[in-house]
């Protein structure tokens, strides 16, 4: 059964035309999905009962079934394990801050990139998510927050999977969520994170979108980076940074570099100095976070002292750097910890 959230508005309108429904029905259903957050045909009381019955018979309105819901001890982070129609599973996260409600959503079941410190990478790759399965994660939390009088403020595409490995479905989902007649979520409130798939970065650059771009860097030389991120063997660091230069030049937008600080591995002053030289002159920001532990990697999180020194080296070289606080550690909801385990 097709997912209704997989349909673009023109596709939905075309389907309803085939059913001999008046043109305005498509907008009613679209707004019901994306503005009222209705999740079942029975809720669409503004359309005839006969049409509701047909929608229920021919389209799947519930591609995600919440299976396990965990809340952190500080009540600021919620992680949800969703079951998919084929029995596979993914995780997504809601992180609450003082003035923000940020979602971390997934684009794949597992991941093919094999980053050694990432729980999803340790799983291996199972399949891509459809655009509707990506959209449904946002709608789930939008509905939850709406019921509490709150809204989603940011969406980071940093959950399970490599978004640019599933480029078409990921960007189609963002476009659907950005639709002004639907959810109308601003493009600048999305951030896509990639390990550095250069052809996809160049395609993204050519589209000149307002969506934010983040690169998982984690090392400033190819030897170290390849030992942590196998993708570096195919797309070496200097070629990746050249693509980043092209992105900034074409869009005028700042790029973010993500860095998981591993004690004694990539949190050294030597790595910081080398990174500063590599990034000199580039409009960017380094977003560093102490490593979150995973079962398949023995590395340890950096110390506060090492993190502060790393930041100091970059700052003195004119490279803005933030050391992020780790969130949801007690429910394994931090960066790199998502995996479809119940």
Active-site residue set: 91, 335
State the burial class of residue 317 (Cβ atoms within 10 Å of its Cβ: 0-12, 13-18, 19+).
middle
The CA-atom distances, in angstroms, between 217 and each of 88, 96, 113, 240, 297 are: 29, 26, 13, 10, 18
Non-local CB neighbours of 172 within 8 Å, separated by 6+ positions: 8, 131
SS3 call for 218: coil
CA distance 319 to 339: 33
Strands (DSSP E) along the chain, which ranges?
A: 2-3, 59-60, 65-71, 77-83, 89-96, 101-104, 108-110, 125-128, 154-157, 190-194, 212-216, 255-261, 284-290, 321-323
CA distance 132 to 159: 16
Task: Give the number of other Cβ atoms within 10 Å of residue 82's Cβ.
Answer: 22
Could you write out the DSSP letters of every residue in 30-79? Answer: HHHHHTS---SGGG-TTS-HHHHHHHHHHEES---EEEEEEE-TTS-EEE
Q: Alpha-carbon Rg of the chain, whole angstroms? A: 21
The per-residue b/e assignment along 111-125, b for 16 or more CB within 10 angstroms, e otherwise, is: bebbbbbbbbbbbeb
């Amino acid at each position: 059964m097709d997912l209704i959230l997989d349909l673009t508005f023109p596709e939905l309108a075309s389907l309803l035309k085939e059913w001999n429904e008046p043109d305005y029905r498509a907008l009613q259903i679209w707004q019901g999905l994306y503005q009222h957050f209705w999740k079942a045909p029975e809720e669409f009381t503004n359309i005839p009962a006969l049409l509701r019955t047909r929608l229920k018979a021919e389209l799947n309105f519930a591609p995600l079934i919440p299976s396990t819901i965990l809340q952190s001890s500080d009540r600021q982070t919620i992680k949800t394990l969703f079951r998919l129609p084929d029995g596979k599973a993914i995780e997504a996260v809601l992180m609450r801050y003082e003035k923000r409600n940020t979602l971390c959503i997934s684009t794949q079941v597992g991941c093919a990139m094999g980053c050694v410190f990432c729980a999803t990478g340790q799983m291996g790759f199972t399949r891509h998510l459809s655009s509707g399965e990506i959209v449904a994660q946002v709608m789930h939390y939008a509905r939850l927050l709406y019921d509490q009088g709150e809204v989603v403020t940011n969406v980071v595409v940093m959950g399970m999977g490599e978004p640019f490995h599933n480029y078409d479905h990921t960007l189609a989902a963002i476009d659907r969520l950005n639709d002004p007649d639907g959810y109308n979520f601003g493009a600048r409130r999305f951030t896509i994170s990639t390990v550095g798939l250069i052809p996809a970065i160049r395609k993204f650059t050519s589209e000149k979108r307002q969506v934010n771009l983040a690169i998982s860097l984690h090392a400033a030389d190819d030897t170290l980076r390849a030992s942590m991120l196998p993708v570096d063997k195919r797309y070496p660091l200097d070629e990746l940074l050249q693509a980043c230069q092209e992105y900034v030049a074409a869009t005028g937008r700042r790029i973010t570099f993500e860095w998981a600080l591993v004690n004694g591995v990539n949190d050294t002053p030597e790595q910081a100095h080398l990174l500063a030289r590599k990034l000199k002159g580039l409009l960017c920001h380094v977003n560093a976070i102490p490593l979150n532990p995973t079962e398949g990697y023995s590395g340890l999180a950096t110390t506060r002292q090492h993190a502060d020194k790393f930041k100091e080296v970059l700052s003195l070289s004119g490279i803005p750097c933030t050391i992020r606080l780790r969130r949801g550690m007690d429910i394994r909801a931090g960066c790199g910890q998502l995996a479809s385990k119940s």
